[in-house]
A and B are shown apart, each in its own frame.
Chain A
Amino acid sequence: MGAKRKFDLWTGVSLVTLGFFVLFLLYPLWGLLRQSVLNAQGQFTLEYFKRFFQYRYYTVTIINSIKVSLAITLVTLILGIPVSYFYSFYQLKGAKFLFVVSLLCAMSAPFIGAYAWVLLLGRQGVITKFLATSLGIKIGSIYGFGGILFVQSLKLFPLVFIYMNGAFKDIDNSLLEASANMGVTGVKRFFRIILQLSMPTILAASLVVFMRAFADFGTPLLIGEGYRTFPVEIYNQYLGEHGQDYRFAAAISVIGVIMTTAIFLLQKWATSRYNFSISAMHPVEKKKPKGIGGFLMYLYSYALVGIAFLPQAYIVYLSFRNSDGAVFLPGYSLTNYRMAVSRLLGRSINNTVFLGLGSLALIVLLAIIIAYLVVRRPSVLNNLIDTLSMVPYVMPGSVIGVALVIAFSGRPFALTGTALIMMIAWVIRRMPYTIRSATATLQLVPRDVEEAATSLGASKPKTFFRVTVPMMRNGIISGAILSWISIVTELSSAIILYNNRTITLTMSTYVAISRGNDGLAAAFAAITTVVTAVSIMIYLAVSKEEDVRI
């Protein structure tokens, strides 16, 4: 009797979740697919797909995107894992500061980081000129492949940092002690044991970074300079000024969807080969860093975070400079901030906070449900839901934006220009982070704890909410932070879906920059930094332990 009820409840949940995806994802995607295979006369055709593969001009974009995204993923892992290791296993002074600042780096609006680096390291950049005149060093160009790799790695390594913190926190101290007893410590233990135990999280983090890097168009838009990438190409085709060749863009999008689905399935297969569960009954005791090793740890962590934060700091400095539209004049003033207030600053903050939190709440709820469905009740239906939830990943936001508009602009929906349609876009686009980390965490929660609860008389829902979810807390919260980060900096679908009533901080920044008003953009970006710093502080104030435990 009890078993039958469980079956119905969770199947019902599966079906409702599936319904959500059908309405808000599959339906718009179907519209997109139709556009890609119908010509202007409404006849079926594959000419747009043919055109893409026919010219190297187009195929080079997807190759470039893959190349640079792989490179970025590799570099962020190399940068992020060590700093997370130092943070998790040693008592670093100012650890919280490091954490907050690296989160801020990941939360910066996409255009602003690249723009600031151009000002610093461009051909006439501040640092470039300094290095050339004082030290005689000539650095390479900030543009192209190298530039994108540099800027994006520094921006995305905090994602690895956060994911890995969650994983390292869940390593039981007794495992480390056991390996020390067998004579394996230090670097060897790091590679043989610690990394292996955190492999599911490493794979999850890699996927997140790869997808972010692949779908990013803010950075290559500004510093690609001839290194053409995939999302920018879609953006150009979709929004080009000469009549909008949206059928071709739809075809390119479909190709992209297929590609990244393949990558996602590959990652899923790789993760499935690490089938184990651990629980941190004895969390790791942090050691004090000593000697040269300790000094190097501090140097590495602070240098990395410092360099990554440099562009934002420079932007805050610029926001207080005198400016008249596009030109920075000598002297300091609050001109830019005054202008920001008259340019819907209050509304931008309001929308960012409220709409963002609303979307986040929905994301967390859905992520927990989907993680449970996928890990505890694997079935064809639930794996379908898992795959579907990852599909929006690959689609540049602009495509999702237009697909949603086309699907929901007519009656009976007429959601265009509303806050709801933006929230839907955010939920669909940013849910994957939380799902990935919730899934990875749940995989590490042993079943027997849940079974113990059930055998003590708790019902299935009670077990879920009182036992399972609290044990997933680490993964959920770290995933929620990541989703929140990405919602605040979301740009590519907001461009299509926003209007002045629903404008956000990042949109206001983009608008200022694209109008060439750099002073105003700097002010908005600085305010975004403050708002996100405040939200991180609130989170830290609320979390149970003194230490930053995620």
Chain B
Amino acid sequence: MKKRIGIMLALVVSLSLLVSAVALADTLRDPNFKSDLVLYSSMTDNDLNNLVRLFNQRYPGIRIEIVNGSAGELTARIRAEKNNPQGDVMWGGLSNSDGMIYEDLFEPYLSPYEDEIYPAYRSNNGFYNLDHLSTIVFCVNTDLEAELGMNITSYKDLLDPRLKGRIVMPDPNSSSSAWNHVCNIFAVYGNDSPEAWEFIEGLLKNDVVISTSSSVAFRSVLSGEYVVGLSYEDGASTLLKAGATNIKLVYPEEGASASAFGVAVIKGAKNMEAAKLLVDYLMSAEGQSELGTALGTLRFTNSKAVYDTPYLPKTEDITWADRDVEWLIENKEYVLQRWNDIYMRTRY
């Protein structure tokens, strides 16, 4: 018995020695080790890979570690770690319609590039640096659309009975991209108007499937589980960039609008200097130009940034609607409560 335990221990020890060697190799890869930077982000892999690569070209001594999660998961983590912050900076999921709700989590730091930012997207709370836009979009599976004999171009099309149970959207209670869509519905039909609520009720009665994750709204459309996903352009366009041929991005003809999303320094960050450098990079014209060119799927907020978006339609080709961001911030709780009431009524 003891001999067997000895053998087992020897096996385990040698296994873990081998594995530790691999882990050690991780850390020894970067010789210009100057600072760590822990980045909390909900952005896609495409976004993050390119950001880290470009940022490290400029600052090779800063080693970035990424913690992924949805905006809700990350802010919950930051809040829970308040007394001993583990993260330094957060990118993505922080939108200009949040208002002051996360004031206690972030440093009131703004980059020196605020006056180069388009006026509509300058920081409206003193701690978000709004660097990119995310426009709402319908992610449509072209094969299934053809099977149904439809041409989906508008909100009205979403009420078509042929799409019953075949539309997916994330939960606006927990997803910033779904809330983005709700904001757009109000922008198009009027804030708190009877037409807006009538449309929402019609949509829910058409058995739209509420998913718990934002990425389902484009990934499951790609795989054919649904015909239409209410998604965001930079998520859906990464599929086009990766070579998908059976989906397309549709901007509703009644009007589309965007939320501005940003980056913020976490309160009490252990690597404060490195965090601020990342914020500055993301807000600068050079940074946004470099990143925009590398990605091709994201629109940025610095008026001096120069880049192409080959996977997105031109700004001129989209019908834009106006949003009343102030109203949305103030009434978010009321809107969500009413949304939940309608959901409860139509489903149960």
Name the CB-closest residue of A to B6.
Answer: A542
| A327/B19 contact (C-beta < 8 A), A346-B25, A516-B44 known | no
Do B80 and A538 touch (CB < 8 A)? no
| A500/B69 contact (C-beta < 8 A), A327-B242, A329-B243, A353-B19 known | no
B201 at the interface (CB under 8 A from A): no
Do B219 and A326 touch (CB < 8 A)? yes
Interface stretch (choices A186-194, A401-409, A432-440, A455-463): A401-409
Do A240 and B239 touch (CB < 8 A)? no
What would be 15 A-B contacts, judged by CB atoms less than 8 Å apart? A57-B347, A232-B212, A241-B72, A242-B72, A242-B179, A325-B44, A345-B22, A350-B19, A402-B76, A409-B82, A495-B73, A500-B38, A516-B235, A516-B238, A542-B8
A136 at the interface (CB under 8 A from B): no
Cross-chain contact of B86 among A226, A238, A499 (Cβ < 8 A): A499
Interface residues of A in 510-525 (CB under 8 A from B): 511, 514-517
Name the CB-closest residue of B to A515.
Answer: B45
Do B225 and A241 touch (CB < 8 A)? no
A414 at the interface (CB under 8 A from B): yes
Do A243 and B101 touch (CB < 8 A)? yes
CA distance A123 to B220 in the complex (A): 10
B324 at the interface (CB under 8 A from A): no
A38 at the interface (CB under 8 A from B): no
Cross-chain contact of A241 among B8, B21, B70 (Cβ < 8 A): B70
Interface centre among A55, A243, A326, A402 (most CB of B within 10 A): A326
Return the CB mask of B165-200 against A: 1 if under 8 Å, else 0. Answer: 000000101111001000000000000000000000
Interface residues of B in 56-79 (CB under 8 A from A): 65-73, 75-77, 79
Cross-chain contact of B179 among A241, A345, A417, A515 (Cβ < 8 A): A241
Do A124 and B12 touch (CB < 8 A)? no
- Enumerate chain A residues within 8 angstroms of B244, measured Cβ to Cβ: 326-327
Interface stretch (choices B126-134, B154-162, B336-344): B336-344
CA distance A238 to B76 in the complex (A): 8
Return the CB mask of B215-246 against A: 1 if under 8 Å, else 0. Answer: 10001001111000000000100110011100
Cross-chain contact of B4 among A417, A500, A542 (Cβ < 8 A): A542
Cross-chain contact of B70 among A239, A329, A411 (Cβ < 8 A): A239
| A344/B340 contact (C-beta < 8 A), A226-B209, A353-B19, A516-B44 known | no
B35 at the interface (CB under 8 A from A): no
- Enumerate chain B residues within 8 angstroms of A47, measured Cβ to Cβ: none
Q: How far is the CB of B83 from chain A (nearest CB, A)?
A: 4
CA distance A196 to B284 in the complex (A): 74
Return the CB mask of B236-261 against A: 1 if under 8 Å, else 0. Answer: 00110011100000000000000000
CA distance A516 to B1 in the complex (A): 47
B211 at the interface (CB under 8 A from A): yes
A333 at the interface (CB under 8 A from B): no
B150 at the interface (CB under 8 A from A): no
Name the CB-closest residue of B to A405.
Answer: B80
Interface size on A, residues (CB 8 A): 60
Name the CB-closest residue of B to A236.
Answer: B174
B262 at the interface (CB under 8 A from A): no
Do A357 and B336 touch (CB < 8 A)? no
Return the CB mask of B81-101 against A: 1 if under 8 Å, else 0. Answer: 111101000000100000001
Q: How far is the CB of B212 from chain A (nearest CB, A)?
A: 5
- Enumerate chain B residues within 8 angstroms of A240, measured Cβ to Cβ: 72, 171, 173-174
- Enumerate chain B residues within 8 angstroms of A514, measured Cβ to Cβ: 68-70, 213, 215
Do A516 and B84 touch (CB < 8 A)? no
B205 at the interface (CB under 8 A from A): no
A60 at the interface (CB under 8 A from B): yes
Do B224 and A500 touch (CB < 8 A)? no
- Enumerate chain B residues within 8 angstroms of A57, measured Cβ to Cβ: 340, 343-344, 347-348
CA distance A241 to B332 in the complex (A): 12
B23 at the interface (CB under 8 A from A): yes
Do A517 and B45 touch (CB < 8 A)? yes
Return the CB mask of B302-344 against A: 1 if under 8 Å, else 0. Answer: 0000000000000000000000000000001100100010011
A467 at the interface (CB under 8 A from B): no
Do B11 and A538 touch (CB < 8 A)? yes
A496 at the interface (CB under 8 A from B): yes
Interface centre among A414, A500, A542 (most CB of B within 10 A): A542
- Enumerate chain A residues within 8 angstroms of B70, measured Cβ to Cβ: 239, 241, 514
| A353/B174 contact (C-beta < 8 A), A122-B223, A516-B44 known | no
A101 at the interface (CB under 8 A from B): no
Do A325 and B173 touch (CB < 8 A)? no
Q: How far is the CB of A165 from chain B (nearest CB, A)?
A: 21
Do A119 and B223 touch (CB < 8 A)? yes
Do A122 and B176 touch (CB < 8 A)? no
| A225/B209 contact (C-beta < 8 A), A345-B22, A417-B81 known | yes
CA distance A241 to B176 in the complex (A): 7
Cross-chain contact of A416 among B67, B86, B243 (Cβ < 8 A): B86
- Enumerate chain B residues within 8 angstroms of A13, measured Cβ to Cβ: none
CA distance A351 to B30 in the complex (A): 22
Interface centre among B225, B336, B347 (most CB of A within 10 A): B225
B26 at the interface (CB under 8 A from A): yes
- Enumerate chain A residues within 8 angstroms of B225, measured Cβ to Cβ: 118, 122-124
CA distance A495 to B77 in the complex (A): 9
- Enumerate chain A residues within 8 angstroms of B79, measured Cβ to Cβ: 244
Interface centre among B65, B72, B179 (most CB of A within 10 A): B72
Q: How far is the CB of B33 from chain A (nearest CB, A)?
A: 16
A50 at the interface (CB under 8 A from B): no
Do A236 and B76 touch (CB < 8 A)? no
- Beyond the given A242-B333, A325-B242, A346-B20, please list 9 additional residue pairs across the A-B interface where CB-CB is below 8 A: A241-B173, A242-B72, A244-B79, A326-B239, A344-B26, A409-B81, A495-B69, A517-B45, A538-B11
B54 at the interface (CB under 8 A from A): no
CA distance A544 to B11 in the complex (A): 17
CA distance A327 to B224 in the complex (A): 13
A347 at the interface (CB under 8 A from B): yes
- Enumerate chain A residues within 8 angstroms of B175, measured Cβ to Cβ: 241
